[in-house]
Amino acid sequence: MYTLPRSADELARIRADRLEADRRYNEALTALDHAVQALARLRAVPDVPPAPDDSRMRDIGSGWRVSPGEAVAAPASPLRRHVAGIVWRIVAPLFARQEAFNAAVADHLGRNVTVAQRTHEAFDALLLALREQRTALERLHAGLIGYVQQITLYVDTKDREAIAVSGPLAAGLSALDERLARHAESVAVAHHLGTTVKRELDRLVTRGTAPVGPQAGAEPGPAGPSGAPGLQARSLGTGLDAYKYVGFEDRFRGSREDIRARQSTYVPTFAGASDVLDVGCGRGEFLDLLQQHGIGARGLDANHEMVELCRARGFDVAEGDALAHLQALPDGALGGLFAAQVVEHFAPEYLAAFLETAHQKLRPGSAIVLETINPTCWTAFFESYLRDPTHVRPLHPDTLSYLVTASGFQDVTLRYSSPYPEHAKLQPVPGDEAGARIANQNADTLNRLLFGYMDYAVVGLRR
């Protein structure tokens, strides 16, 4: 018996079950529709081949004899009869063998004409049956599509009846659920804002009117290797608004545990290194991983709130512009450089200067790891990349790999990560028919384009 949901969680579970059922229903209906389309594209049943030609069989049956037989009159002269007898004894075996061969050929042709006629009749009946079966199958598929569509209307009427009974309560619970979600998000943003205001008020009380944001203690932007003075990376949230980007990261980037798990694969690249710089260190997940593995590292971020969060956790983090920070370091000062989800915030000329400067500041044998969103995965581009308003330009894996190589790094490789969940991809259609094979090939193509790896990293060495 149907009962009304008693809580927002139960309503959410029911809604999730319904969405999953809708997804499976739509997939099944799509597969059926593709099968019908594939049937329509099949080649038509061929015509019956021509009947065997038996028009010369009567001539073959009556003309196989070649010897003159008894109808030839014997010569009148005894000498001629004697000579004719000698000649006949010589040629008679030849005529006999030829007649035996002719008789075998005539018999063989006669038998095969009979078989060919019966085969032709069988083909005629078979092709007629195939045409009837195809017509019946097309009617079955059309009827099945109509039946499934009627199921949708039937279920919709049931839903409307259920909504008429439970609509007010369901609508109230749904509105309450949405309001609670918005309230929770507002509380998180307010928490970040309160932390920022309190910290800045303490700063003003204890140190006077100090500047806020990446300008505080940040290095100036001298001319880069390309000679362009004052190149600046796009700000990742500065001043009193920096807390908003922290909240944005908390909501869309993923939890600290998730980021740690993703970035743990890069730790072996920096094994035995020291003075590793984490550019755009964010909340400090990778700094925490390096610290746990005994690898000396420090962080850098342009977002004031991110810096304060990392410092509160005990990490050595500077605040400022990435290129300006690198340019202020002595050559060979770094034993490694890591930047996750950072380079997509750089303009092309800034990125080129950043890579050239990084090559100068890294010691020989040091590694550089640059992780970014994979724009060749359409889902990653249209969701992860476009969602963040601070992104400047997507970087194709080939492009970033080439830029790193052109900046002097060697042994440059690509590492793909964050694969799209298999269960969420387009699923294959069961069966080995032509329609199923075509549908599965199309699904594989779409899966490669839409649901590939969400992220990738370019890894290179400073030789």
At 127 the pLDDT is 83
Of 235, 239, 237, 236, residue with least CA distance to 203: 239
Return the higher-pLDDT residue of 192 and 291.
291
User: What is the separation of C-alpha 403 from the centre of its chain, rounded to a whole number of angstroms?
Assistant: 25
At 210 the pLDDT is 43
pLDDT exceeds cutoff 90 at 45: no
Domains and CATH numbers, the chain: 8-68+76-172 (no CATH), 239-462 (3.40.50.150)
User: 337-394, pLDDT tens digit by residue?
Assistant: 999 999 999 999 999 999 999 999 999 999 999 999 999 999 888 888 888 888 899 9
User: 229-261, pLDDT tens digit by residue?
Assistant: 446 554 444 444 555 555 556 565 678 888 999
DSSP conformational letter for 228: -
Percent of the chain with pLDDT over 70: 72
At 367 the pLDDT is 98
When pLDDT is averaged across residues 24-36 and rounded to a whole number, the result is 79
Supply the Cα-derived Rg of the chain in whole angstroms. 42
Distance CA(299)–CA(319), nearest Å, equals 9
Most confident listed range (3-12, 103-112, 297-306, 327-336): 327-336
Rounded to two decimals, the pTM is 0.51
Of 317, 306, 370, residue with least CA distance to 342: 370
At 354 the pLDDT is 97
With cut-offs at 50, 70 and 90, classify the pLDDT of residue 327.
very high
Return the higher-pLDDT residue of 48 and 412.
412
Return the higher-pLDDT residue of 239 and 267.
267
pLDDT exceeds cutoff 80 at 180: no
pLDDT exceeds cutoff 70 at 215: no
At 59 the pLDDT is 75
With cut-offs at 50, 70 and 90, classify the pLDDT of residue 21.
confident
